[in-house]
Amino acid sequence: MKKLLLFGLLIVLVVSVPAIAQNAFDGTWKFNLNDAQFPKKPDVYLLQDGMYHCKTCVPPIDVKADGQDQPVKGHPYIDSVSIKVVDDRTIEEVDTKNGKKVTTSKTVVSQDGKTANFEFTDSSNTNADPVTGKGTITQVTKGPAGSHALSGSWVTSKLETVSDNGLLVTFKVDGDSLSMTNRTGQSYVAKLDGTDSPYKGDPGTTSVSVRSMGKNTIEETDKRDGKVISVARMTVGSDGKTMTFKVEDKLHGSNSQFTATKQ
């Protein structure tokens, strides 16, 4: 299945101009998994007649399911995909970039076909240790008769674990600029006036802009080569210890929501 870093889960945001809001946002924050609201728009897969299709990948992926590296184009994080059919309920995927393995995943569909458990490692946008995790997806619609059990449409229902390097982000305000760093090697320094600034360390995000949207709320826009790929709003709670992230994934046309706790 496609990479899961929501991941979406790992969108980073910045702070507003007023001094009170700056102080509220400064520090290291950790995303929570227990109250995450994942996209309701399903991912769609078809594994049949020796071919694997990820219909909702952007761009779509259509490769032989023979366990060998198959080239794909238009994906900033990977340039080949290997799909191995282990049995009638299990597949393993390995993605590479420039000959280097960057993601692995194993997905096992339950006997009744209604859920599937997955586990993954992902270093496709990390300059440090890979992000690891496991979770569950739930079937929305079945695939066609005779297809593999993974075929159909699925939504993420639970992330049981994600390694800390995929959940932590640090912000620091200095004058009219905000710096961001995280454990997987991404960073930026952005003016707090909504203008574009370089986004470093992520092959799929090239620039970022942020602006204040009211008291303790910031909107961040991420772009790839000038095209908006996601918009996220972050609001600090009245206790100053929690943030709510509302994320709009422009590439997939989906929405999600997460909270983070100040460390």
pLDDT digits (tens, 9 = 90+) for 189-213: 899 899 999 999 999 999 999 987 8
Q: Please give the Cα distance from 57 to 71 (Å, whole number).
A: 15
Whether 181 shows a pLDDT value over 70: the answer reads yes
pLDDT higher than threshold 90 for residue 4: no
- Tell me if the pTM is above 0.75: yes
Mean predicted confidence (pLDDT) in 64-84: 97
Give the confidence band of 23 by pLDDT, cuts at 50, 70, 90.
low
Residue holding tokens 């490769």? 63
> Domains (ranges, CATH) in the chain?
5-38+165-262 (2.40.128.20), 43-163 (2.40.128)
Summarize the confidence of residues 60-68 as an average pLDDT.
98
Secondary structure of 69-136 as H, E, C letters: CEECCCCCCCCEEEEEEEECCEEEEEEEECCEEEEEEEEEECCCCCEEEEEEEECCCCCCCCEEEEEE
- The set of residues, in sequence order, having a beta carbon less than 8 Å from that of 42 and lying 6+ positions away, is 56, 140, 141, 153, 154, 155
- Strands 80-87 and 90-97, by their bridges, are antiparallel
Q: For the sheet containing 152-162, what is the strand order?
A: 61-64, 51-54, 43-48, 152-162, 131-142, 115-122, 100-109, 90-97, 80-87, 70-71
- Other CB atoms within a 10 A radius of the CB of residue 188 amount to 21
pLDDT digits (tens, 9 = 90+) for 123-153: 988 777 899 999 999 999 999 999 999 999 9
| Confidence at 116, pLDDT banded by 50, 70, 90 | very high
